[in-house]
Structure 1
Amino acid sequence: MIHSEQELIRLVQSDDWMLDILHVAKTLQLPDWWVCAGFVRSKIWDVQHGFIERTPLPDVDVVYFDPGNPDEAVEKEHESKLFSIRPNVPWSVKNEARMHKMNQMPPFVSSVDAISNFTETATALGLTLDEHDRIVLTAPHGIQDAIDLIVKPTPYYITTPERAQIYENRVRNKNWNTIWPNLTIVHIREN
Structure 2
Amino acid sequence: MNYESQIKDWLVRDPIRMKALAIASEKKLPEWCIAAGFVRNLVWDNLHELSSATDLNDVDLIYYDPRDCSESRDREIENDLKSISTLPWSVKNQARMHERNSDTPYISTEDAMSFWVEMETAVGAALDENGEITIVAPFDVERLFDFTITLNSKRPKRTDFEARIKSKRWLEIWPKLVVNA
The Cα RMSD (Å) is 1.4
Give the C-alpha shift of residue 54 in structure 1. 1.1
CA distance in 2, matches of 1:26, 1:4: 23
* CA–CA separation in structure 2 for the residues paired with 1:46 and 1:143: 15
Q: Does 1:177 align with 2:160?
A: no
Q: Could you tell which deviates more after superposition, 170-179 or 26-35?
A: 170-179
Partner of 1:61: 60
Match of 2:149 among 148, 151, 165: 151
Deviation of 1:124 after TM superposition, in Å, equals 0.6
1:119 aligned to 89, 109, 117, which one?
A: 117
2:99 maps to 1:101: yes
Report what 2:136 is aligned to.
138
Amino acid at match of 1:129: L
Q: Contact 2:45/2:53 (CA < 8 Å) preserved in 1?
A: yes
Unaligned 5+ residue runs, structure 2?
none
Q: TM-score under structure 1 normalisation?
A: 0.90
CA shift at 1:3, angstroms?
5.8
CA distance in 2, matches of 1:52, 1:24: 27
- Determine the C-alpha separation between the residues in 1 that align with 2:2 and 2:128: 23
Q: Which secondary structure does the structure 2 equivalent of 1:155 belong to?
A: coil
- Give the corresponding residue for 1:50: 49
Q: For residue 32 of structure 2, what is the aligned residue in structure 1?
A: 33
Task: Name the CA distance, whole Å, in 1 between partners of 2:115 and 2:77.
Answer: 23
How far apart are residue 84 of structure 1 and its match? 0.9
1:29-69 deviation line (CA, Å, top 9, x unaligned): 11110100000000000000001311012211000111110
1: CA distance between counterparts of 2:136 and 2:152?
Answer: 15
The residue identity in structure 2 corresponding to 1:124 is A
User: Amino acid of the residue matched to residue 185 of structure 1?
Assistant: V
Residue 128 (structure 1) aligns with:
126
Task: Report the identity percentage.
Answer: 35
- 1:168 alignment partner, one of 156, 162, 172: 162
Distance 1:3 1:177, change over 3 A: farther
1:120-177 deviation digits (Å, cap 9, x = unpaired):
111010001111010000111122221121001123123xxxx333223322322211
Aligned equivalent of 1:84? 83
Q: Which segment drifts farther, 71-80 or 172-181? A: 172-181
The 5 Å alignment of 1:2-13 reads 4-13=3-12
Query: Aligned equivalents of 1:135 and 1:101: distance in 2?
Result: 30
Q: Distance in 2 between matches of 1:113 and 1:125?
A: 12
With over 3 angstroms needed to count, the CA separation of the structure-2 counterparts of 1:164 and 1:105, relative to structure 1, is farther
Deviation at 1:95, TM superposition (A): 0.4
Question: What does the per-residue CA deviation read over 1:48-106, in whole Å, with 9 as the maximum and x for residues that have no partner?
Answer: 0001311012211000111110110110010011101112x110000000111011111
